Amino acid sequence: MEIVRYPHPALRWKSRPVAEINARLRSIVREMFELMYDAKGIGLAANQVALPFRLFIVNPSGDPKQTDQELVIVNPAIISRKGSAEGEEGCLSLPEMWGQVRRAEEIEVEAYDLKGREFRLKLKDMPARVVQHETDHLDGVLFPDRMTDTARLELAPQLEEFEAIHRRRQEAGLLPPDDVLKARLRELEGS
């Protein structure tokens, strides 16, 4: 398992709900936490490891020792949003890229944990921003999509460079063609 980079097709994939919470899923989540911490991240969606499932992990502290801050969020739905604030965001699938994104200051999210129990969380500030960012991933939305047109234009050269690297990796045989990557996502959806 690895964190995929833009423009990998998984990053634009609308994830399907998780149907069963089992040992395989718990193992995936453990590996996702390891990848996230190794990459110095604070959130990671299943799409970012090329899995088309509606789940993500977060630890707003970014500190692997602060396990009390870890959240596993399965089949999330943001059921309320309040306020608005602009803040800087980045993404492990768009390394070294940052931009200002306007999001709700406070949210309430409904989801399931790894034991299959439904829960609701009221979050604000950074935790709310991270959950909104990761929920966007599950719908195939990336943070530049939420930026103003002018700000997004400033990122265009970086996005083009990510695309060029992706194509070079495919040409070198280091990464399958996009149609093969999409077929793999469809196959995983059926499992």
DSSP state of 173: T
pLDDT at 48: 97
At 4, list the tokens: 């995929």
Catalytic residue selected from 88, 96, 134, 171: 134
- For 19, how many CA atoms within 13 A lie in the half-sphere containing its CB? 6
pLDDT at 97: 94
Q: How far is CA 175 from the centre of its chain?
A: 20
Using CA atoms, how far residue 38 sits from 61, 137, 169, in Å, is 14, 20, 22
Could you tell me the domains of the chain?
9-190 (3.90.45.10)
Binned average pLDDT, 10 residues per bin, the chain of 191 residues: 96 95 94 96 96 95 91 96 95 95 97 95 94 97 94 93 96 95 92 69
d(C-alpha 52, C-alpha 14), whole Å: 7
Taking alpha carbons only, the member of 116, 113, 73, 98 closest to residue 159 is: 98
d(C-alpha 118, C-alpha 137), whole Å: 21
pLDDT at 190: 80
pLDDT at 36: 96
d(C-alpha 51, C-alpha 45), whole Å: 9
Q: What is the pTM (predicted TM-score) of this model?
A: 0.93
Is residue 110 flagged as an active site residue?
A: no
Taking alpha carbons only, the member of 33, 59, 61 closest to residue 48 is: 33
Q: What's the first-to-final CA gap in the chain, in angstroms?
A: 17
The torsion of the CA quartet 34, 36, 40, 41, rounded to 10 degrees, works out to: -150
